[in-house]
Amino acid sequence: MIWTIISILLLFWIVGFALEIAGGLIHLILVIALIVFIVNMIRGR
């Protein structure tokens, strides 16, 4: 499930770079997703 979310966010991030649409928001969401992923990996889930 987490890999699906990461893949979708990564796709949106790339599209945001290409089209320059809502770039700041996409970067913020990607950073939040990365932090959540790292916390889950540290906790062992």
Rounded alpha-carbon distances, angstroms, from residue 35 to 21, 30, 45: 23, 9, 14
* pLDDT for 4: 82
Cα–Cα distance for residue pair 8/4, rounded to 1 Å: 6
* pLDDT for 2: 74
The pair phi, psi for residue 15, each rounded to 5°, is -65, -40
* pLDDT for 21: 63
Computed on alpha carbons and rounded to an integer, the radius of gyration of the chain in Å comes to 12
* pLDDT for 32: 80
Dihedral, CA of residue 14, residue 16, residue 11 and residue 18, to nearest 10: -40
pLDDT digits (tens, 9 = 90+) for 1-45: 777 887 887 787 777 767 766 666 767 777 788 888 888 888 885
In the chain, domain spans: 2-43
